Amino acid sequence: GAVVSQHPSRVICKSGTSVKIECRSLDFQATTMFWYRQFPKKSLMLMATSNEGSKATYEQGVEKDKFLINHASLTLSTLTVTSAHPEDSSFYICSARGGRGRNQPQHFGDGTRLSIL
């Protein structure tokens, strides 16, 4: 159980394009979803936390207008990288967490490799 699907797995596009990444919890309801960015040999960097039906909470230094997050249902969150530029190239990973108690781990998608030319 606890499967999180992330799509697409890889995107290569031109500078200025907007890219949407989907994160779905397949077999549980995700009350909270998280979006991370991972740089080579670095920790996962939390970008934002989204709760179903409410606005996402962005971490300091993350541009809200650049990285649009929508969590419209308990099984789907999307991250849209608007007007992407080469510096946005990275590995983006989502995670989903069900329930509100402390004993619920985050379950991760397989990540999206974004390359902006």
Residues in contact with another protein by the rule CB under 8 A: 2, 4, 6, 32, 34, 41-44, 46, 49, 91, 93, 95, 97, 102-111, 113
| Between 38 and 82, CB nearer to another protein | 38
C-alpha to C-alpha distance for 27 and 58, rounded to whole angstroms: 26
Smallest separation (angstroms) from another protein to the CB of 83? 25
Residue with tokens 């929508």: 70
Smallest separation (angstroms) from another protein to the CB of 44? 4
- Name residue 11's amino acid: V
CA angle 91, 13, 58 (to 5 degrees): 45
Residue with tokens 């902006």: 116
Smallest separation (angstroms) from another protein to the CB of 59? 9
